[in-house]
Amino acid sequence: MNLVIVESPAKAKTINKYLGSGFEVLASYGHIRDLPSKDGSVKPDEDFAMEWEVDARASTRMTEIAAAAKRADRVILATDPDREGEAISWHVLEVLNKKKAIKDTPVERVTFNAITKSAVLEAMANPRQIDMELVEAYLARRALDYLVGFTLSPVLWRKLPGARSAGRVQSVALRIVVDRELEIERFRPQEYWSIEADLAADSPPFTTRLVKHAGKRIQRLDIKDEATANAARDAIQTGDFTIRSIEKKPVRRFPSPPFTTSTLQQEASRKLGFDAQRTMRAAQKLYEGVDETGGLITYMRTDGVQTTPEGIAQAREVIGETFGPAFVPAEARYYKTKAKNAQEAHEAIRPTNIARRPDSLRLESDLQRLYELIWKRMVASQMEAARLDRTTVEVETPDGQTGLRATGQVVTFDGFLAVYEEGRDEKQKGAESEEDDDTARLPTLKEGAKAKVEAIRTDQHFTEPPPRYSEATLVKKLEELGIGRPSTYASILTTLRDREYVRMDKNRFIPEDNGRLVTAFLEQFFGRWVEYDFTAALENQLDEVSAGDMDWKALLREFWSKLKPATAAVLERQGVIDELDTAIGPFLFPEKADGSDARLCPLCKTGHLHLKASFKMKSSFIGCSNYPECRYTRGFGAGENAGDEAGGDRELGIDEATGLPVALKIGRFGPYVETANPGEEKPKRSSLPKGWSPATLTLEQAVRLLALPRPVGDHPEDGKPITAGLGRYGPFILHAGTYANVADIDEVFDIGLNRAVVLLAEKRAGKFAGRGAAVAPLKDLGAHPESGEPVHVMAGRFGPYVKSGKINATLPKGTAPEDMTMEIAVPLLAARALVAPKAKKAPAKKAAPKTAAAKKPAAAKKPAAKKPAAKKTKTVA
C-alpha cells in the first residue's frame, strides 16, 4: 500500500479518485507544528536551534498518519509545490521519524501544479527527495519573523503604551500606509483652470482644449488663476481659427499576462470587491476542486507569468473556436515577470482546462466569479492585440498665438478587448499626463478648413492629494518594492487590521493613532529594520538561500548581530517618549500660518502640548503641560484641526433643542459625550462609536449620539415599538427583546421602518427557524381577494417571498419587499398555485391520547434560514 500525504481533505478526496485502490491518501490539514508563542522558541545562542510544537488538533491526525505509515510500503509527500508546501512535508517527515513510524520505508516527494489526473499521475511517476534548500529558506524566514516579533514587540510594550506588536514585513507595510497619510496631510491644493471650446468646421461641433496661449505651450496646470483663464477665453472668442493639421495614428494595445498571486488579488479587489483573504480562500477551493472534475485552476501561489505550451495551445484553440481565426495571433505570446524577487517556480494562475467555460459551471458565487475572472484573463492573454485609430486635430490662429487640440480614438478591431480589459488604479487628479485618454468620436474634418467657435467653457479645479491605499494598490506597492511574498500579502493586511493599527474607510487604509506612533517609534529607534530597501534586500537573501547560494544560519547570524544590540540600547534608554516628542514634533505640531506657537494649548492658552503616554490606559496622546489643571487632549492627526480645540475635555456647544451644554470628555474607557440636565441625577452620556475621532467631533454628531436610542416606528405585525441605538457590541435595532445588528453607526441615525422590519425578520429567521417559532412578516398586504387568507411578504433562506395559506411565491428579481402590493402578489400566487403539487386529502381527525409522541409537531423542521449575502456590483471586463 502506498501512503500519500497532502494538506487538505478536499485535495485528498480528489487525488484519491485518480490513484485507485493501491493508494491511501490522508490530509495533514495544513501545518502540523509551529514555533510556540513564547520567548525562547528560537535560540540564537545555540546556533539558532528551533523548538517546534505540534498543534493540539494535529496531534490526533499525526497519530493516524503514523499508523498508516507503519503499514505502508511507500510514503509519498504530495504537499503544495512552494516553500510552505516543502516545509509541511519536512515537518510531517520529522514527526513521523520521531514517532518511529518510518524505518526502512522509502519516502518520496512529488509536486504538481494542478490537481488533474494527468498532472497527478505524471508527478507520481517522477518523485524526488525533499528539497532542503527550500526548507532552509522557510526556516530562515520563520526564524527572522520570530526574532523580529519577539524582540521588538516587548520593547514596544515597555516603551510605548498601546502598541500591540511589530513584525518584519508587517511594520514596513504599516509604514507605507503611514507615509501615504503624511503625504496627504502635507499636500497643499494647487489651483488650475481648464479651457475647452466647442468648434464647428463645416461639421457637427467637436470639443477641443487649449494647448497654446500667447504663443506659449500650455500644460494642464499652467493656468493658475481666473484672470489668466479669462484672458485665454477672450483670445479664443476673438480668434480666427483654421485646422492646421489632422494626424491619424494607428495604435495597438496588447493584453496583460495571466494572473500571478498578487495581480489576482489586485484585480479581484478592483472588479469583484474581494479582499485578499477572500480571494485566496476562493482560489484555494478552485485549486483543490469542488466536484468529480478535479482542480479547476493551477496552483494559486505563484509569481510566475509563464504558461506551459499545452496551456497556450489550448487557449489558442478556444479563442479560434469562440471568436474566430482573426483573434488568434500568428505566434503564441510568452511572458516574463517584471516584479522584483520573482522566483517563477510555477506557471501563472490559469484554468486547468481552458475549454471549461465559466458558463458551463455551477459554482457558489465567489468561486464562479473568480473562475470567470481567471478564465477571461488567461484567454485574453493569448489573443490578438486591439487595434485603434487615434486622431489628433490641431487648430490655430494665423499668428500662432492661440492653439486648440481635439483628440479621439476609434477601436477598429477589438482583439483581446472582446474578452477582458485590466482594471486601473485611480490617479491623482490634476497630475495626469499630457496624453489625453479621450475615446470621443470626431466628425469628418479637413485640413485648412475654417473653424468657428460655438461655445467656450472655463472651469476651476484644484489638484488633489494622492489617494489612500486600497488592498489592490497596497499589494501592488509591496510587490513593486520587493517586500514580502505574494502568498503572505493576505495575512499581512489582515494583521494590520487585527492589531487596530489601521482602519478601513470606503475600502481604503487609514492609519490609526497607535499605528502612526508605532511607525514613528520604529523609524526613530529601529530605522534600519523598517527601511524599504533593507527589507527588500533581505527577501533577495532568502531567495539566495532557496537557490543554495547562501547559508541560512549565516544570514541569521548577520541579522541578529545588528538587531540584538540595537534592542538592548533602546531598552536602556530613558525618556523615549520625550525623544519621540522632539523627533516627530514637526508632524505633531506643524507651523501655523500666522507664526504663532504651534504647541500652545488652545484650551488654557498658557500650557504647551507634548506627546504623553498612559501605561494605565495603554495609550499615547497629545496632552497639555498644565495637566491636571488643564485636561486638553487630542490624537496625532496633523491636519487643519489638529492644533485647535478639536479634542480632549472640552465644550462642544449648546444643544438648540434642549438649551443644555454638550461636552466631550476622556474617560477611563475612552472618549464620550455628555450633557447634564440640572433636574436629573445623572448626566446623559454616550461613548464615541468606533471610527469616530475626538479630534474631529462636532456638536451635531454629539447631539445625534445623545439622542440615541431613537424611535424608528411601530412594527406592522404587533404594533410594538422599534428603536435604534448604540450598544456595547455596536449599532443595533431592538424590537420586543430581539436585537439585530446594523451595518454602521450612520445607518442607526437614518434607518427607516421597512429596513428595520427586514433586519429583524432576517435575525429571527436565522435564530429561530426550525424551532417552531413564528417569524414576523416583512410586510402585511391584507386579505386575499378570493380566498380571504392573509397575504404576507416573508424573509426566506433564498430571498424574500410572498405567502398566502400554503402557497409561497418568490418575489421577481429586483423587487424590494417594501414595494410589494396586493396587485403584484395575487398573480404571483396564482401562477405558483398552478405548478404546486396537490396536497393529499388529510384523513379525518381522531382523538388521540396525550402522549409525548403526540405532542411533537408532525412537520419536519426546516433548517435555519441564513441571512442573504450582501450583493456586490459585478464589473464585466
Q: Is residue 379 part of a domain?
A: yes
Q: Please state which of the ranges 317-326, 429-438, 546-555 shows the lowest mean pLDDT.
A: 429-438
**406 and 513 belong to one structural domain:** no
User: What's the average model confidence in pLDDT over 104-108?
Assistant: 92
C-alpha cell at 497: 487590521
Asked if the bond preceding 628 is cis, omega within 30° of 0, the reply is yes
- CA-CA distances (angstroms) from residue 685 to 187, 673, 676, 729, 749? 37, 6, 9, 17, 17
Asked if residue 288 is part of any domain, the answer here is: yes
Q: Looking at the structure, do residues 671 and 717 belong to the same domain, yes or no? A: no
| Relative orientation angle of helices 471-481 and 532-546, to the nearest 10 degrees | 70
Q: What is the full DSSP assignment across 600-654?
A: B-TTTSSSBEEEEEETTTTEEEEEETTTTT---EE-S--STTTTSS-SSSEEEEE
The DSSP secondary structure of 711-754, one letter per residue, reads EEEE-TTT--EEEEEEETTEEEEEETTEEEE-S-HHHHHH--HH
pLDDT digits (tens, 9 = 90+) for 577-610: 888 888 778 777 877 778 888 888 877 889 998 8
- Asked if 516 and 182 touch (Cβ cutoff 8 Å), the reply is no
Secondary structure class of 160 (helix, strand, coil): coil
Phi–psi pair at 676, nearest 5 degrees: -115, 125
- For residue 40, the model assigns a pLDDT of 85
Which of 462, 484, 509 is at the close of a domain? 462
Lowest mean pLDDT among 435-439, 704-708, 714-718: 435-439
- For the domain that residue 527 is a member of, what is the CATH number? 1.10.460.10
What is the mean predicted confidence (pLDDT) over 112-136?
A: 92
Weakest mean pLDDT among 107-111, 179-183, 304-308, 789-793: 789-793
- 586 and 639 fall within a common domain: yes
Q: Are residues 399 and 378 in the same domain?
A: no
Alpha-carbon distance 647 to 406, whole Å? 51
Does residue 730 fall inside a structural domain?
yes
Residue 805 belongs to some domain of the structure: yes
The alpha carbon of residue 287 and the mean position of all alpha carbons in its chain are separated, in whole angstroms, by: 21
The overall average pLDDT reported for the chain is 83
Q: In this structure, is residue 869 part of a structural domain?
A: no
Average pLDDT over residues 540-567: 92
Residue 845 has pLDDT above 50, yes or no: no
Do 734 and 824 reside in the same domain of the chain?
A: yes
Classify residue 867: in a domain, yes or no.
Answer: no
Give per-residue pLDDT as tens, 732-770. Answer: 999 988 888 887 788 888 888 888 888 888 887 764 433
pLDDT of res. 813 = 65
Stretch 348-368: mean pLDDT = 92
State the average pLDDT over residues 852-875.
Answer: 40
With a cut of 70, say whether residue 154 has pLDDT above it: yes
271 and 282 assigned to the same domain: yes
Average pLDDT on 263-273 reads 91
Q: Tell me: pLDDT of 572 over 60.
A: yes
Same domain, 34 and 87: yes
Query: Catalytic residues, which ones?
Result: 299
Are the CB atoms for 538 and 177 separated by under 8 Å? no
Assign residue 448 a region (left: φ > 0; alpha: ψ between -120 and 50; beta: otherwise): left
pLDDT of 857 over the 70 cut: no
How confident is the model over 385-436, as pLDDT tens digits? 999 999 999 999 999 999 999 999 888 999 999 999 887 765 544 444 444 4
Least confident of 340-354, 528-542, 850-864: 850-864
Among 384, 410, 436, the domain-final residue is 384
Residue 31 falls within a domain, yes or no? yes
Of 685, 706, 727, which marks where a domain is finished?
Answer: 706
User: Are 174 and 209 found together in one domain?
Assistant: no
pLDDT tens profile 227-265: 999 999 999 999 999 999 999 999 999 999 999 998 999
DSSP H or E run through 536: helix 532-546
99 and 183 both lie in a single domain: no
Residue 500 · residue 512 · CB < 8 Å: yes
In a domain, 876, yes or no: no
310/350 Cα distance (integer angstroms)? 12
State the CATH number of the domain containing residue 404. Answer: 2.70.20.10
pTM over 0.75: no
Phi, then psi, of 299 in degrees rounded to 5 = -55, 135
Report the first-to-last Cα separation within the chain, whole angstroms.
49
Same-domain pairing of 88 and 181 = no
| 762 vs 478: CA distance, rounded Å | 41
444-497 confidence digits (pLDDT tens)? 899 999 999 999 999 999 999 999 999 889 988 998 898 888 778 888 888 898
Alpha-carbon span 805 to 310, nearest angstrom: 59
Residue 645 has pLDDT above 80, yes or no: no
48-78 residue pLDDT tens: 999 999 888 788 889 999 999 999 999 999 9
Domain encompassing residue 344:
261-384
Whether 476 and 548 share a structural domain: yes
Number of domains in the chain: 6
| Shared-domain flag, residues 607 and 661 | yes
Per-residue CA distances from 163 to 501, 531, 563, 583, 713 (Å): 9, 20, 19, 18, 44
